[in-house]
Amino acid sequence: MHALDPLLSPARFEWGCATSSFQIEGASTADGKVPSIWDTFCAQSGRILDGSNGDVACDHYHRFADDVKLIADLGFKHYRFSIAWPRITTVDHKANLAGIDFYKRLLDALDAHGITPNATLFHWDLPAHLEGGWLNRDTAYRFADYAELVARHLGDRLPRVATLNEPWCSAFLGHDLGVFAPGGQNRAESLVAAHHLMLAHGLGMQAWRTVQPNTLLGIVLNPELCDPATDRPEDVAAARLAELERNDSFLNPLFGREWPQELLEQIGDLGSLRREGDLAICAQPMDFMGLNYYTRSIAKAQDMAPSPGSAKHRDAERGYTFVPPQKPKRLTDIGWEIYPEGLTRVVQNLQAQWPLPPLWITENGAADNTGVARGAVDDGMRCDYLEAHFEQVAHLIRSGADIRGYYVWSLMDNFEWAHGYSQRFGIVHVDFQTQKRTPKRSALMLQRLLRA
């Protein structure tokens, strides 16, 4: 790629890179930080693919100044990061000033390099001491307290703030599939968690606006594009259920709409935990929405009655199971299909169903595990992936979509949750033994495009 589409010119379109606190900061006990559910999850045998944890990660807590300089050197003027809730509050919900000071110093560094910060309040690292986590309604109110605290201490320096990142992962990977913290496997409880997360979003926005009414506020979602494995009616219905779970359970409350009947049936008696007036709280006016996109899914119906307690039984409870795509043109190293046209399809699907605010593509990227050779990283697959998705963004804007920015995931290789350090999404290579940063071919491509 020699040049960006004129619609994506940095003069008119926002370009940035993204990270999250638990994945890069390390310093897991420094300056009064309390444990998160991911600290405790990592300590459980067999939870993380390579047995690793986030104790050191990219050591960004101590190396942030160099990392911010790297962002500037690559030509980015915008940086999306998350604030670690366990780092800036104590177990009795008071401000941890030492932790807050870290983010003040980070913001100072960004300002010195002319980089605009865009913060996310919650990227999955829930404080471990919150009893019941997202299954407890009280956690939504504790999130509002946390949002108000951040607004008071940092809000005047944060022009745009997202409440939650991908609440689907916290709710369903964490409470249904059990592959993310805290590791639960209960379909109805995952829907309870989904509701409490959206309640937290609404309460958090209300709390923030009492302190900083001029901040642009929104949320970051990872909407589903799910195709049926076949044209059988059962598989078409299965794909619809997958999209209802990923999309409707979060987007409906954002716009004051009730869940679809299928989800109400799945939550069952636990639906009593959803109270009258909750939807009005969830449906706070939004200034923007962030969309994260990587690939599509393929769903099929469960054909046989599975034995209770089995993985197939849980698939039957949710009404679908995912299957690999047939003859995909190309896969990333994590095994995800490269399907750039899915970005256009998912945005258009959302536009047809909900009155969306302005959009930012807040995450997009590929796991390309190419290593360092002779001091360089030739991650050609990632370059091809990114270029193809840039084309889709330009196509969407031409088609009338109000997309105002794009953030590549991720700035650097990091702790990739249940995959540990086995998958590399960064445009900058990190040697986790020495912490040496090496910009990859993809980073240099973006540097050239942004400076052209």
Q: Which residues are catalytic?
A: 166, 363
> How far is CA 353 from its chain centroid?
22
| H helix or E strand, kind and range, residue 195 | helix 187-211
- Amino acid making up residue 88: I
Q: Is the peptide bond before 308 cis (omega within 30 degrees of 0)?
A: no
- Four-point Cα dihedral 120, 121, 123, 129, nearest 10: 170
Cβ 287 vs Cβ 358: under 8 Å: yes
> Which two structure tokens, joined as six digits, stand for 386?
């990114």
Pick from 349, 441, 359: nearest CA to 406 = 359
Cβ 288 vs Cβ 357: under 8 Å: yes
Cβ 403 vs Cβ 361: under 8 Å: yes
Which residue in this structure is represented by tokens 């034995």?
307
- Angle at the Cα of 120 from the Cα atoms of 119 and 122, rounded to 5 degrees: 150
Q: How far from 264 is each of 245, 249, 261, 268, 274, CA to CA, in Å?
A: 11, 10, 5, 6, 10
SS3 161: strand
Q: Where are the alpha helices (DSSP H) in 215-340?
A: 233-243, 249-254, 261-267, 278-282, 311-318
DSSP one-letter string for 338-387: --THHHHHHHHHHHHHS----EEEEE---------BTTB---HHHHHHHH
